Structure 1
């Protein structure tokens, strides 16, 4: 489905990039309202430790990331060293785990192979959050961004915190078309019943269509880039309402 062949190497790269940004961790992160860089770093590192716990213990039932020990004292935030330590444990665990191992996930695939792409794009988006907080323009390679779009769309129907607000929009049957102008990538999202989301690759006409660099399309889907920064055709109001409801 996706173009990334070595998730572990990409995770290692992204974790190092995020750690490099963790200088003044008191900086607010506008794309994660209420967070500073300290809270963003802590969230990402805790997510890594959660994945390690699920995989090493072959967890079969839902467990929240906050239920997994972080190694931090009460009220303490993570720093760059703590982040890299957790990322190292995650990488070792992913490399040692059979991808076919049945484990719990919140997505549609209940195997260990679900975790590497999810952990990668969790890092990519939060690295972008840190860069935006510091006034930097995130750079996401086109192939990686295209994979990120498909990874999100693949998991979106299982994200109940997204499908519930989507169901309340009352736009069943509406379509949104995404067209990358710097890579081979086009996708059409169709809003289904009860908040369900379907998607397909390829050219199609949507009720709303967005064209732009594939990295900006990815950031838009995650609520990190306004559609105003891209070229929008058709029903702009539908697009904005859908993006607000699908905020991840």
Structure 2
């Protein structure tokens, strides 16, 4: 997906997030235990400000968050933080340099993609918390979100911080997974210090196969619901779930 498309999705998802948040600030968010929708909105606003400063200043701001943000009205924080982030992203080309936590990609384009997906997932959280119907996810954004989660979040985290996954993968047998949706598929291998992701369904049968529409599969991998078909070893499914949870906590 090109970066102009990511920015378009970011605008759309922010509008949906803002509307959902405004409709139920005091409600608990079932997918973010211990948070209300107001807490979620404040978190998103803080993330926007942090990433805007990172892009603008060429370094992650420290310490973070600054004093005073916790007391700010969450909707007011959103209303000033989103234009700040969006303006910084719009003022730069995707290939311009930027500090990121993902070693292979140190560009502004990384944040264009990451912020689109950050906003999408939290838009779903806000809708669930506010008791609104969860809106559809555009198929291209959903498929890319699955790809980003598997490769950028989980595979990179296992490679860089393998000790965090020892309790799940250490001493575990190698397992294979096939994730399939409309127009896209991924083959995953897990094992001690291993979480390898390749495009395509892979060769031969997998220990676990997960399949469904793009938005359903995206919600499933992010533990936001999602009605998907699961075939295979329940223990292997739990390993995948736990790896994702550690990588995204």
Report the TM-score range of the alignment, normalised by the length of the smaller protein: 0.7 to 0.9
**Selected match of 2:80 from 77, 85, 101:** 85
Displacement over 4 Å in runs of 4+: 160-165
Gaps of 5+ in 1: none
SS of equivalent residue, structure 1 residue 242 = helix
Q: Separation in 1 of the partners of 2:69 and 2:214? A: 40
Number of the residue aligned with 1:99: 94
Residue 230 of structure 1: how far off its partner (Å): 2.0
Q: 1:52 to 1:87 in 2, by over 3 A?
A: same
TM-score (norm 1): 0.85
Q: How does 1:176-195 map to 2 (within 5 A)?
A: 176-180=177-181, 183-194=182-193
Is 1:246 the equivalent of 2:244? Answer: yes
Across the two proteins, how many residue pairs are aligned to each other? 237
Q: Separation in 2 of the partners of 1:98 and 1:137? A: 32
Cα-to-partner distance string for 1:143-201 (whole Å, 9 max, x where unaligned): 11001111222312333698544332233531111111xx211111222542x422112
Number of the residue aligned with 1:174: 175
Gaps of 5+ in 2: none
SS of equivalent residue, structure 1 residue 168 = helix
Number of the residue aligned with 2:13: 14
Please tell me whether the aligned partners of residues 3 and 94 of structure 2 are also in contact (alpha carbons under 8 angstroms).
Answer: no
Please tell me whether the aligned partners of residues 46 and 69 of structure 2 are also in contact (alpha carbons under 8 angstroms).
Answer: no
Q: Which moved more, 1:85-94 or 1:162-171?
A: 162-171
Q: 1:113 to 1:172 in 2, by over 3 A?
A: farther
Please tell me whether the aligned partners of residues 104 and 110 of structure 1 are also in contact (alpha carbons under 8 angstroms).
Answer: yes
Q: 1:81 to 1:13 in 2, by over 3 A?
A: farther
SS of equivalent residue, structure 1 residue 159 = helix
